[in-house]
C-alpha cells in the first residue's frame, strides 16, 4: 500500500513537471533539441512524408497523460498535444485497426491477454476526468480490430486499502 501511495505522488509530481516543461517551449521558435532538453528521449518518433515529425512522450502506466509533440518540416515546434481526451476516445470505433488506435492515443498503460480468450486483447489508458481517475479500455479481436471500448473508474482508487 505504501508503494501505491508513493507511485501516485510521483505521478502528480510528473504532471506538474510536464506543465513547467511545456511552458519553456514556444511554437514556431523551439526546435527538437529544446524539446529533448525538456522532455528527454521520446519513446517513438514518427516521420511524416512532408518532413514533419511526431515525438511521443507517454506518461503511462502511472501518469494520466500521453503527449505527442509535432515538429514541422522546418524543425520547429508546431504543437504539443495531450492525446488522452474525450474527443480522441470518441474517435475509437468498432472495426478500427489496432495501429490506428495506437497512433491516436499513444502507448497504453496496460495490455492484457486472457488464456480463455486467445483471440482477445485489452488495452487500458489511465486518464483524468476532472479530478477523477479513470481508465479507458479498448478490446481488440483476433484480427487486431476494435471490438468494443469502455470507460471505468481506476480500480487503484476504488479498491484503496482492500
The mean pLDDT of 14-32, rounded to a whole number, is 84
26 three-class SS = coil
Q: What is the CATH number of the domain that holds 37?
A: 3.30.1450
Domain, as residue range, for 45: 2-82
pLDDT tens-digit map of 98-156: 999 999 999 999 999 988 888 899 999 999 999 899 999 999 999 999 999 999 999 87
End-to-end, the C-alpha distance of the chain in Å comes to 9
For the entire predicted model, the pTM comes to: 0.82
Packing angle, helices 2-23 and 32-39, rounded to 10? 150
9 and 58 in a single domain? The answer is yes
92 and 77 in a single domain? The answer is no
Count helices and strands (H / E) in the chain: 5, 8
Residue 49, beta-bridge partner list: none
Say how far apart CA 1 and CA 162 lie, in whole Å. Answer: 9
Rounded to 5 degrees, what are φ and ψ at 146? Answer: -65, 125
116 three-class SS = coil
71 and 104 in a single domain? The answer is no
- Burial-class residue 77 by CB neighbours within 10 Å (0-12, 13-18, 19+): buried
Of 82, 107, 136, the domain-final residue: 82
91 and 78 in a single domain? The answer is no
Of 58, 82, 106, the domain-final residue: 82
44 and 78 in a single domain? The answer is yes
What percent of the chain clears pLDDT 90, i.e. is strictly above it?
A: 73
Amino acid at each position: 500500500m505504501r508503494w501505491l501511495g508513493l507511485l501516485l505522488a510521483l505521478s502528480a509530481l510528473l504532471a506538474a513537471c510536464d506543465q513547467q516543461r511545456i511552458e519553456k517551449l514556444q511554437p514556431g521558435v523551439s526546435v527538437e533539441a529544446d524539446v529533448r532538453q525538456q522532455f528527454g528521449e521520446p519513446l517513438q518518433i514518427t516521420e511524416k512524408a512532408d518532413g514533419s515529425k511526431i515525438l511521443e512522450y507517454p506518461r503511462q502506466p502511472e501518469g494520466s497523460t500521453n503527449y505527442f509533440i509535432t515538429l514541422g518540416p522546418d524543425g520547429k515546434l508546431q504543437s504539443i498535444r495531450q492525446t488522452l481526451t474525450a474527443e480522441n476516445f470518441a474517435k475509437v470505433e468498432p472495426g478500427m485497426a489496432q495501429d490506428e488506435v495506437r497512433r491516436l492515443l499513444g502507448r497504453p498503460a496496460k495490455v492484457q491477454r486472457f488464456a480463455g480468450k486467445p483471440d482477445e486483447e485489452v488495452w487500458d489508458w489511465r486518464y483524468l476526468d476532472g479530478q477523477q481517475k479513470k481508465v479507458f479500455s479498448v478490446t481488440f479481436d483476433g484480427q487486431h480490430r476494435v471490438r468494443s471500448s469502455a470507460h471505468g473508474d481506476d480500480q487503484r482508487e476504488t479498491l484503496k486499502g482492500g
